[in-house]
Amino acid sequence: MLRYLFALVPGIILFLAFYFMKSGEANVLLRDFWRISFVYLVLALMVTPIITLTKKDTFAPYRRTFWVLAFLVAAAHGIVYFYAEYIYQKTFFVLEHFKALDVASGVVAIIIIAFLAITSNNISIKLMKGNWKKLQSLVYPLFLIAAFHVAFASRFDSFYMITIGALILLRTFAYLSEKQMVVSGKTSAKVTRYRCVPCGWIYDEKYGDPDGGIAPGTRFEDIPDNWVCPVCGVGKGDFIPYEDAYEEENTPATVVTATLLNPTTLELVLETEKKFEVIPGQYGRVALKDRDGIFYRSYSVVASMDKKLVFCIKLSWGRGGNTLKRIKVGDVVAVENIYGSFVLQNSIDPKVFIATWTGLAPIVNMLRQLPNEDKILLFGVQDAASLFYTELLKNIPRLTTHTFLSREELPGFQHGRIDISKFHFPKESEFYMCGNPAMIEKTIADLKAQGFTKIYHEQF
């Protein structure tokens, strides 16, 4: 229902635009239903190329909605047209009119669209099987006839010319990009399952589709082009590779909160379907998805409570960073597992923690495990605006924090990069470091030079 309301928006906008353009001439205006119907026809034909180009199925359910609206508005246009003729000619049927190509093409277009609308239901799909897809190919002559009708009836109004041009361009781009994917082999690599975008049905090569005449073991590429989805009747072009491994190896995780701690640092809280055991310092491998498919990134766990995992992530310009910039509450990602040996040693030795930027994530988790010990943290970022978790650190008992700002000089902060030569640590101290490789490399060298040996680190 909501979908129909959204889909009605372009129609209403056009209706109002025409109304005001023609200063409310109702008769002419009602005839203009044909313009709106044509726009819905074009929108319906734009859904498939948009899915191909964006690899997102957001608009897939709208295809049928646009079709239904195109048909209803075309029917309204036909009724109004012939009613108007009746008023002027006192008859619904004036043969002369049908001899004019623009009227005749309009009538043919309405008959075809009515035929397509009547057969656009699951019962027809099941009854007609492969023939249904053939029947639906009538959409192409329909489009040509409708384009002919609007072009001539509107005396080549630029509105239609632009709309038709945009559709042809979009479909050409989609066709070329699909061809490119096949050429580069992106579509065939070891994929054995394919998901129907509009309805979610999965074609598994192992099982085929015996009811649809496809034997078990048939490769997706070898399925004849007239085969249709047994559930919703769309063709092969509406199927996308379904990554088996993704579902088998990962645990779905829903975004509970996604909070910016500063402009480039995101705190992400995920609720996973199963509980993961996390030792402070460990990291989770998170499966993310973008238009090129699934990819994995490691993020250290800041905290874990029941099925919730908290991560603190620097939003870089990389693939992970860019994907997470768009993430929102309710999105579903996945967690592969928890890994890592960067964990606290079971000792009573004094502990020093060193972190740059989001290297603080595993360190925070460790610090909170040591409420009864004195501990030191050296934390480095570029400037005060890049700081985060300041209050959280203040609330960790018996923690002394020294914050380094590499690019800003401010009272209360150390200026420059983290430099351990400014401190005197007890001989038996343990060091836990996390952050950028350059800092870790230099600090390890400095610590070793001072005779320290208990150094544990993780670099991002």
Q: Which residues bind ligand FAD (CB under 6 A)?
A: 283, 297-300, 311-314, 316-321, 358, 361, 458, 460
User: What sign results for the dihedral spanned by CA atoms 45, 48, 53, 54?
Assistant: positive
356-377 as b/e: b if 16+ CB within 10 A: bbbbbbbbbbbbbebeeeebbb
Contact at 8 Å (CB) between 112 and 67?
no
Nearer to ligand FAD, 299 or 404 (CB): 299
Instruction: Write out the two tokens for 330.
Output: 């309710």
Between 149 and 297, name the residue whose CB sits nearer to ligand FAD: 297
CB of 321 to ligand FAD, least distance (A): 3
CB of 341 to ligand FAD, least distance (A): 10
Cβ nearer to ligand FAD, comparing 213 with 318? 318
The least distance separating ligand FAD from the CB of residue 314, rounded to whole angstroms, comes to: 4
Grouping H, G, I as helix, E, B as strand and the rest as coil, residue 264 is coil
Longest dimension (CA), the chain: 107
Task: Report in angstroms how near the CB of residue 180 gets to ligand FAD at its nearest.
Answer: 21
Please report, for residues 40, 75, 113, 135, 136, the alpha-carbon distance to residue 118 in angstroms, rounded to integers and kept in the order given: 17, 13, 9, 12, 11
> Can you tell me the distance from the alpha carbon of 408 to that of 397, in angstroms, rounded to the nearest whole number?
28
User: Which of 10/340 has CB closer to ligand FAD?
Assistant: 340
Q: CB of residue 413 vs ligand FAD: minimum separation in angstroms?
A: 22
Question: Residue 226 burial (CB < 10 Å; 0-12/13-18/19+)?
Answer: middle
Nearer to ligand FAD, 73 or 377 (CB): 377
Would you list the DSSP string of 308-353? EEEEEEE--SSHHHHHHHT--TT-EEEEEEEE------S--S-EEE
Kindly tell me which of 233 and 359 has the beta carbon lying closer to ligand FAD.
359
Min CB(311)–ligand FAD separation in Å: 6
Collect all residues with Cβ–Cβ distance below 8 Å to 62 and sequence separation of at least 6: 3, 6, 7, 43, 47
- Report the residue number whose CB is nearest to ligand FAD: 318
Of residues 169 and 305, the one with the C-beta less far from ligand FAD: 305
Question: Which CB atom, from 209 or from 458, has the smaller least distance to ligand FAD?
Answer: 458
Secondary structure of residue 96 in the 3-state scheme:
helix
Q: How far is the CB of 162 from ligand FAD (least distance, A)?
A: 34
Q: Find the shortest distance in angstroms from Cβ 55 to ligand FAD.
A: 19
